[in-house]
Amino acid sequence: MPVLSLPTYDITIGSLALAHRQWLLERRYAGIVVLTDENTHRHCWPLLAPWLEGMPVQQIVVPAGEAHKHLDTCRRIWDELLAAGAGRRWCMLNLGGGVIGDMGGFCASTYKRGMDFVQLPTTLLSQVDASVGGKLGIDYGGVKNSIGVFREPNAVWIDPAFLDSLSHRELRSGFAEILKHALIADAGQWATLKALPDLSAVRWGELIPGSVAIKKEVVLADFYETGPRKALNFGHTIGHAVESYRLDGAQPLLHGEAIAAGMVAEAWLSHRLAGLPEAELEEIATTLTGYFGHEPVPEEALPELLALMRQDKKNEADEINITFLGRIGEAIVNGRATEAEIAEAIRFYNQLG
């Protein structure tokens, strides 16, 4: 079982086992809360339940989806913790994707000034990205993750068996973050990933450790995202805005689908402003549209998208912060782009369809 160690916690990758149960027993928690959404309660809780037998377990089940990642759901979680008599000597197990991990960790970190929590990511996206790094929060005012904290979990347990219940679309969404990690830090891995013939034949358990290792090293270099960690933002300034814009529409995009579009647009900005070779821009655009298809952004949406980007947490001095690629495998943080340049980048993406 691969174990990636950080200074204050370990990330284990492999099947849930006696060691995970023993970890909980050794800490003698007064109670354990398992937070799930409706989907993970149905599909993933049965895999975890046998390892918690005989422990003082309470369950909290919330609605599934990004649309519920807000303060009202947090209030529900806090209310149920109070009703259960939970205290600071309890532990919350966040069994779900990025929404459950972000929101559950945020609620655990703020309830009675902080209780222990463990991330058990159940989607590919959360296993390779959201569960690692201690960024927790909720959406507010139509802006993703605009309320939150930095706080590390007490452990991260990644079991690839949870992926068995996911659709091809959900797995592909997580694959976007694996591609991003390669683009910002490992050109060799990018070459391997872009040559995959069919995602349905991928053994995800073989790709997860390498991708998590990249995320781990970036986080260790800059936990509070003051500099190098911003490399992980590649594709996200534009991608998050597209995701937020589509969230309330008839056909919302999954996170990875929006980030794939954002990576193409930000690769164009990288070519225009940071020297990314044109051949590598074409390679990125061809690979990402090949895997994710093409979701054009309406021209009339540009003002709203730019307004959302101006709300990005990493902006400084009223300038929009962009992570560029100097080359594939080489990120350049704290780049700047004008609104006109960003609009042109989105138009570049649109014309690919």
Q: Tens of pLDDT along 196-238? A: 988 888 999 999 999 999 999 999 999 989 899 999 999 999 9
129 Cβ neighbours under 8 A, 6+ residues apart: 98, 174, 177, 181, 211, 215, 232
pTM for the model stands at 0.91
User: Does residue 104 carry a pLDDT above 80?
Assistant: yes
For residue 286, count other CB atoms closer than 10 A to its CB. Answer: 13
Averaged pLDDT, 134-138: 95
What CATH class does 168-350 carry?
Answer: mainly alpha
Where residue 293 falls (left for φ over 0; alpha for ψ -120 to 50; beta otherwise) is left
d(CA 33, CA 86): 8
Model confidence pLDDT, tens digit, residues 228-275: 999 999 999 999 999 999 987 778 999 999 999 999 999 999 999 999
pLDDT class of 316 with cuts at 50, 70, 90? low
Q: What percent of the chain has pLDDT over 90?
A: 87
Residue 302, helix vs strand vs coil: helix
Q: Strands, DSSP E only, in 122-235?
A: 135-140, 143-150, 155-158
251 Cβ neighbours under 8 A, 6+ residues apart: none
Task: Point out which residues pair with 325 in neighbouring strands.
Answer: 331
Q: Are 247 and 67 in contact (CB under 8 A)?
A: yes
Where do the domains of the chain lie? 3-165, 168-350
Catalytic residues: 113, 135, 177, 215, 225, 229, 233, 236, 240, 255
The answer to whether 3-165 and 168-350 have equal CATH topology is no
pLDDT at 318: 65
Task: Point out which residues pair with 140 in neighbouring strands.
Answer: 143
Closest to 42 (Cα-Cα) out of 15, 68, 61: 61
Model confidence pLDDT, tens digit, residues 64-85: 998 999 999 999 999 999 999 9
pLDDT class of 296 with cuts at 50, 70, 90? very high
pLDDT at 37: 98
| CATH code 3.40.50.1970 for 3-165 | yes
User: Does residue 313 carry a pLDDT above 90?
Assistant: no
Q: Are 119 and 105 in contact (CB under 8 A)?
A: yes
pLDDT at 191: 97
111 Cβ neighbours under 8 A, 6+ residues apart: 78, 81, 86
As a whole number, the mean pLDDT across the chain is: 94
3-state secondary structure 76-140: HHHHHHHHCCCCCCEEEEEEECHHHHHHHHHHHHHHHHCCEEEEEECCHHHHHHHCCCCEEEEEE
**Gyration radius (Cα) of the chain, Å:** 20
pLDDT at 174: 96
User: Does residue 317 carry a pLDDT above 80?
Assistant: no
Averaged pLDDT, 134-151: 92
Model confidence pLDDT, tens digit, residues 87-96: 999 999 999 9
pLDDT at 131: 83
Phi first, then psi: give them for residue 120, nearest 5 degrees: -120, 80
